[in-house]
Amino acid sequence: MTPLRALFVTTREVDRKRVMDAFARHGYQLETRHAKDRQTLEACLGKLPRVIFISPAAKFSVADTIAILRAHEADVPCIVLLNEANQMTLAEAMRTGAQDCVLLDDSQRLVPTVERELVAAALRHNMREQIVTDHLLQEIDQYILRKYDLQHVVKRICQRMVELFGFKLVWLGMKVADGAVEIVESAGRAEYLSGIQVRWDDTPQGKGPAGIALRENHPVVLSADSPEFAPWRKRAARYGMRRILALPLCMDTDVIGVLVMYAAQDEAFDSFMVDRLSAFAARVTVAILEARDRQELRLMDVAMRNASNAMFITDCQGRILWMNEALTRISGYPREEILGLTPHIFCSGRHDASFWQEMWSRIAGGQDWRGDVVNRNKSGALYTVTQSVSPLFDEKGDLRNFLAVQQDISEKRRLEEEVHYLAYHDVLTGLPNRTLFQDRLQQEIIHAKRNKGEFAVLFIDLDGFKTVNDTRGHAAGDTLLQIIAQRLRSCVREGDTVARLGGDEFTILLRGTGHGEGLRRVLRKIIKVVAQPCELGEFAEKVTASIGISLYPQDATDVETLLIHADEAMYQAKQGGKNRWMIYGQGDVTPD
């Protein structure tokens, strides 16, 4: 069973059990806590859950719960549990800040909804961490170029890590020959370090995360409950520290110090975070070495050779005179194929002439330029960099060279696109979700109002889907939904929108379609194609469609009312015998 921490807010015991049973059937074991009011909710947020279930209550509303979460800056999926459909609409739930609302009777939708929101939250978390890490790497580059002294560099590094990541404590220590670790600088709950002794030799004080990282030259992640952390456990508990990461600071195989971070969350420092912070630690090492030794040529060589950002220097005509290894790594071109050429070798053709003219105009005029550039590597693949170009002047003030720094942001862009897609599309079918459908419906209202046009909104519920899902299993049910989604797409024009609201409910926006034969032709087609048998592996199953229709502007002129009327018409179609359509305010129609 997969453990999953869940927090219930104002939820009856019987309803909590129903949710736990639903998750158990999907292989999850819920580790639950229950908050009945503001005070108990605040206490439960000391250890953040992975998901929060909220039941609407008169004295402590959904909005109250969301407000407290926002105050704690907690990005945790919130699902509203409803005993009756008329308790709260999805639109009302989302306006409070909740991610979704689910009827307790609709258990088949509950677990997939939570799984979808957990994926989206993880992607948002990864993207935030990457953005923060990238920002810190850029700051370290500035410390290098400005030649800050050692104390200033180390102090700023610790402060910025506490500010940007929210760590309880960050400290940096240097390795001393006698086996001790000299703590150079710290930020956050620095009082934790008062009277503490840290070593890297084979003594009890050397067996903690810092000592292991220094001796073995690899990142060390420990929880406060780990045996190795026993000498410091009570002290850490006093300051709310639950997870520790120690990163060795090394150049090649020479370990010079350690960077140690303390977090309040048990799940902090996953493998992705450790990888990102390890790259950051390598840059910190460069900054420290440079701050120790002010010999300019050695500083430039160490800094540029070990920088993760691509760097190159050109003459005034743009010919590349010097480059670091990172440029080869991200472009795929070896040094001998780059030196002497211009950056045109990386040209992707994605930027027009005015883009480059604006850049050259600024740098030739002695000003810095910064922007995102889409390049093409040697194998032909595109990649995106944030590029800064700075003019370099000689002692007389004459422009001699240009320094370009490129940070590869391709992965960050990919994460942004994935998060954006998940926010507006149904993961199972690839159709637009409720949020995107409502946005397109609102745009169509604006367009129709301006042009005195009309359109139709269809609300579709599948008859017999629950039986297939219960008897054939959720995998078969998912396959059936994917098949129906493709069939519905085939029934409409390219400019129309087919969306999945959740479960077996779909909506369609038919642009420019009024109450006439065109609408009826589409409805007959939908009824016919949905009723065709669906091949589900070794067997075939059949469902039908009950359809409700509301028309703009006859039935309503706003998003919510159009959807409500279409939903009401759909229920009348179901009550009239299913496998048919009903136009709001009119009689039902049995398909031909």
User: The CATH number of the domain where 103 resides is what?
Assistant: 3.40.50.2300
Sheet of 2-9: strand order equals 28-35, 2-9, 51-54, 78-82, 100-103
- Which pLDDT does position 117 carry in this prediction? 85
Are both 170 and 194 inside the same structural domain? yes
Please say which residue of 51, 80, 107 terminates a domain: 107
Please say which residue of 298, 318, 339 terminates a domain: 298
Are both 571 and 448 inside the same structural domain? yes
Annotate 147-181 with DSSP letters as a single string. T--HHHHHHHHHHHHHHHH--SEEEEEEE-TTSBE
Are both 163 and 95 inside the same structural domain? no
Are both 476 and 503 inside the same structural domain? yes
**Residue 166: domain span:** 147-298
* HSE-up (13 A, CA, CB side) for residue 100: 23
Per the structure, how many domains does the chain have?
4
Which residues, including other chains, have CB under 8 Å from residue 171's CB and lie 6 or more apart?
A: 158, 183, 185, 186, 187, 190, 193, 259, 260
- Which pLDDT does position 418 carry in this prediction? 77
- Which pLDDT does position 1 carry in this prediction? 78
**Residue 359's domain is classified under what CATH number?**
3.30.450.20
Are both 165 and 257 inside the same structural domain? yes
Do the domain assignments include residue 419?
Answer: no
Do the domain assignments include residue 139?
Answer: no
CB-based contact 323:331 (threshold 8 Å): no
Do the domain assignments include residue 113?
Answer: no
Q: pLDDT tens digits for the chain (592 residues)?
A: 788 889 999 999 999 999 999 899 888 899 999 998 888 888 888 677 888 988 888 678 888 888 888 887 778 899 999 988 778 887 788 888 888 888 888 878 888 888 888 888 777 776 766 666 666 667 666 665 566 566 777 888 888 888 878 899 999 999 998 899 999 899 999 999 998 888 999 888 888 999 999 999 999 999 999 988 888 999 999 999 999 999 999 876 788 899 999 998 888 888 878 887 887 788 778 777 766 654 444 445 555 565 678 889 999 999 999 888 889 988 999 999 999 999 999 999 999 999 999 999 999 999 999 999 999 999 999 999 989 999 998 878 889 899 999 888 877 777 777 777 878 898 899 999 998 999 999 999 999 999 999 999 999 999 999 999 888 888 899 999 999 999 999 999 999 999 998 889 999 999 988 888 889 999 999 999 999 999 988 889 999 999 999 999 999 999 999 999 999 999 999 998 999 999 998 865 656 5
Are both 367 and 257 inside the same structural domain? no
Of the candidates 241, 226, 145, 158, the residue with the CA atom closest to the CA atom of residue 192:
241
Are both 318 and 281 inside the same structural domain? no
Are both 192 and 232 inside the same structural domain? yes
Are both 225 and 250 inside the same structural domain? yes
CB-based contact 100:113 (threshold 8 Å): yes
- Separation CA 33–CA 7 (nearest Å): 5
Are both 161 and 287 inside the same structural domain? yes
Are both 217 and 281 inside the same structural domain? yes
